[in-house]
Amino acid sequence: MVEAVQSRAAQQGPRGVSILGATGSIGASTLDVIARHPGQFRVVAVTAHTKVAELAALCVQHRPHLAVIGDPGREPELRALLRRAGLSTRVGSGIEGLLEAAQSQDAAVVVAAIVGAAGLLPTIAAARAGKRLLLANKEAIVCAGALLLEAVRSGGATLLPLDSEHNAIHQCLAGAGSHEGVRRLILTASGGPFRECRDFSAVTPEQACAHPNWRMGRKISVDSATLMNKGLEVIEASWLFGFARGQIDVVVHPQSVVHSMVEFGDGSVLAQMGTPDMRTPIAYALGFPQRIDSGSEPLNFLRMAALTFEAPDLDRFPCLALAYRALEAGPTASIVLNAANEIAVEAFLARGLPFTAIAAVISEALDAIAAPAPESVDGVLQIDALARRHARQAIAEIAATGVR
Ligand code: NAD
Ligand code: MG
């Protein structure tokens, strides 16, 4: 098998990989895995939102053909840095640049690792262009699940999840051979930094971002602290694997060793385990169906403490309950949930909203906005914009009155 992979690489050369969100946590892990397999993969495009110097440094190191900065105002700075480094990398910016990176002819693989609904258009573009699409950007599938899956189908793309839980389920279902006989999916959750917290009134952004098991971007870290991350993942799982809410359960597993499980009608449960290191799911999706080295530490069973499991507490973590409510209500509610959450988390990180008010902002937006499921990406973006306006208004009212 390994020889077959090597000889294919030797015949065709390394596969081009475009990394959307290359300066982030998933971007860094992806670059690390790729660097271990120079014969098999080559970075052809990298994008970032505002971090020009970091993006230029990645260009020096990985020599992509294309570098894109999301903020168009920073494009001249990026050009100057690349010129000074003696590189002839093509430069793009704004949404046009991101779309070019997503559709690049040089890329067989696109890693969707932009955070938030900002990644939606490039993710859909990569699907339409028929890429192997490695999806970390869960917000894209949460707010446009049906449209993204349709783009994957019509574009002939291959969608592989990077989120560790969904990657685990993909592995369990691939091992099972089919979805037949599956009774339920069991997503594990670490419980985040506040698993045992009883009083959330003085929670700071620093505390919320100090995740016990994973080093991640700030938005997903806050989502993990509120358990909204698990809520988004339940919605993500329902789209990816085609199961209804009643067949997707969440269990809190603080050690983050079992990454998720599939239970079958005969009582068998398949679990995927490993050290908590995103390089494992990234390597799985890059190499699939072959297994390639990820650089992660092997799991040491003899040094492992007990593995424990407990029910999530929906009273202390109302964001998870809101996500269940949104999934049951339909696609529009998922867009509203995601957009209001993005705005509330941004405000919390900027110290403009108490941690305890995040759920209230989302709940109000869900109460206020109802519309039929959008049939186009434009329709998704309209509901997203409406929910963002609504959430900003709710946050302004909270700031003015202090009530919640
Ligand atoms: P991060 O904040 O570390 O990185 C985000 C990347 O997106 C950066 O490169 C940034 O420049 C880019 N970006 C941000 N806003 C943008 C915008 N408006 N336009 C264009 N680019 C923009 O985040 P992360 O932790 O790497 O997470 C990325 C995605 O992967 C998220 O959707 C997250 O939920 C998901 N994910 C992350 C992890 C993890 O371990 N970090 C695990 C599972 C899923
Ligand atoms: Mg996850």
Per-residue pLDDT of 81-122, as tens digits, reads 999 999 999 999 999 999 999 999 999 999 999 999 999 999
Split at pLDDT 50, 70, 90, the class of 204 is very high
- Say yes or no: CB of residue 114 within 6 Å of ligand 1: yes
Backbone phi and psi for residue 130, each to the nearest 5 degrees, phi listed first: 75, 25
pLDDT, position 214:
80
**CA angle, residues 237, 238, 244, in degrees to nearest 5:** 140
- Say yes or no: CB of residue 52 within 6 Å of ligand 1: no
pLDDT, position 213:
85
* Distance from C-alpha of 133 to C-alpha of 114, rounded to nearest angstrom: 13
Mean predicted lDDT score pLDDT of the chain? 95
% of the chain with per-residue pLDDT over 90: 92
Instruction: Work out whether strand 182-189 and strand 158-161 pair parallel, antiparallel, or are unpaired.
Output: unpaired
Split at pLDDT 50, 70, 90, the class of 3 is very low
pLDDT, position 211:
83
* Distance from C-alpha of 193 to C-alpha of 209, rounded to nearest angstrom: 8
* Distance from C-alpha of 258 to C-alpha of 272, rounded to nearest angstrom: 6
Contacts of 352 (CB under 8 A, 6+ apart): 395, 399
Report, as an integer, the average pLDDT of 313-336. 97
Split at pLDDT 50, 70, 90, the class of 6 is very low
- Quick check: 220 pLDDT over 50? yes
* Distance from C-alpha of 287 to C-alpha of 8, rounded to nearest angstrom: 12
* Distance from C-alpha of 324 to C-alpha of 76, rounded to nearest angstrom: 45
H or E segment to which residue 236 belongs: helix 228-241
The pick from 18, 23, 26 for probing ligand 1's pocket by mutation, whose C-beta has the most ligand atoms within 8 angstroms, reads 26
Split at pLDDT 50, 70, 90, the class of 263 is very high
- Say yes or no: CB of residue 59 within 6 Å of ligand 1: no
CB 372 within 8 A of CB 332: yes
- Say yes or no: CB of residue 121 within 6 Å of ligand 1: no
Report, as an integer, the average pLDDT of 275-301. 97
Report, as an integer, the average pLDDT of 362-367. 98
Distance 158 CA to ligand 1 centre (A): 21
* Distance from C-alpha of 139 to C-alpha of 339, rounded to nearest angstrom: 9
- Quick check: 188 pLDDT over 70? yes
Q: In what order do the strands lie in the sheet with 269-273?
A: 248-252, 182-189, 258-264, 269-273
